[in-house]
Structures are given as C-alpha cells and as structure tokens.
Amino acid sequence: MKKTNAMRLLDQAGIKYQAKTYTFSPDDLSGQKAAQALQIPEKQVYKTLMVNGCQSGYLVCCLSVNRALDLKRIAAISQNKRVELIPASRIQSLTGYVRGGCSPLAMKKKFPTYIDSEVMNCDQVAVSAGQRGLQILLSPADLIRAADAVLADIALKTDD
C-alpha cells in the first residue's frame, strides 16, 4: 500500500494507526458507505468538512458521519459572525485532497482545525487517509494531536 501524506505525517510523529482499504463507488462517497464497507459504527467514522469564516477564513471541521455540522456553533467557537460550507468543487484546490478523500491531516496548507468533542466517546476513530477508499484508524487523542486540533461541540445536537 502506497503511503499518503496523512500516513507519512503520522509516521513522522510516531503515532500508531491502522490503514484500511475498502471498495467505493464514485456515485456514493458518503461516510456512511465507508462505515458500512469497513464494518465500523458510523459514530466512529469521521468526515472532514471545510468552512469559510467571515473573519477567520478557512477552517477544517471533523465530525462523525452520522452527525451534521452546526454552522452557528462553529462560527461562535471560531469567533466568526458566520461561516459557510465551501463548495465541494473547491476542496481539492484548498486542501490538495479530492472530495470523498479529504483528510484532516497533512493538507497542503495548515488551517485551524476543530474536532467534535463526541470523538472522546470512542476508543478508536477512522478518518480519510487522503484518498478515496482508504481510511486511517487511530485513537481520538492521537487524531487531535496530529491535526493540532481544538476539541469543541460542533455537531448539531440530536436526541440520541
């Protein structure tokens, strides 16, 4: 298996991880499909979203695939009046990663990164390794450290 930039970053930091591949369809790049293919609960598979804050500029948000990003909450936490999701068509030019393969680790530029605090309820989480069909499994603490991330409540509240 060829190492991705995200894997190289983890190797350099001495962080243990497990890489897992799965078959994906370009028609469905959802995290739910990744969770199903890897036989991992959705709450342990984390997606990477990019937002643009009116004061801060671009931010990386990482939360489980079974949750939605709370735009008002991430705006407040990041000291913006408002944030908006960036269009999927801009992901590659900003991060170096394609849609469906965007990792919160080793983007081509460093952006402030926020990981939903629910991550601490998991022993292990999966994030994209930087390409479609490849996930990295690691501990939440190692993900936070590797991404140099802020832990915050950024997901919409649900009744579960």
Tell me the pLDDT band of 4, cut-offs 50, 70 and 90.
Answer: very high
Taken in order 46, 49, 53, 57, the sign of the CA dihedral is positive
* CATH, range 5-115+128-152: 3.90.960.10
Greatest C-alpha distance within the chain = 43
pLDDT value at 95 more than 70: yes
pTM comes to 0.94
In this predicted model, what pLDDT tens digit does every residue of 17-62 receive, in sequence order? Answer: 999 999 887 787 788 888 888 999 999 999 999 999 999 999 999 9
CA distances from 104 to 69, 124, 143 (A): 15, 16, 9
CB-CB contact of 34 with 49 (8 Å) = no
Considering just the CA atoms, what is the radius of gyration of the chain in Å? Answer: 14
Q: Would you list the domain boundaries of the chain?
A: 5-115+128-152
Range with lowest mean pLDDT among 58-72, 86-100, 111-125, 141-155: 86-100
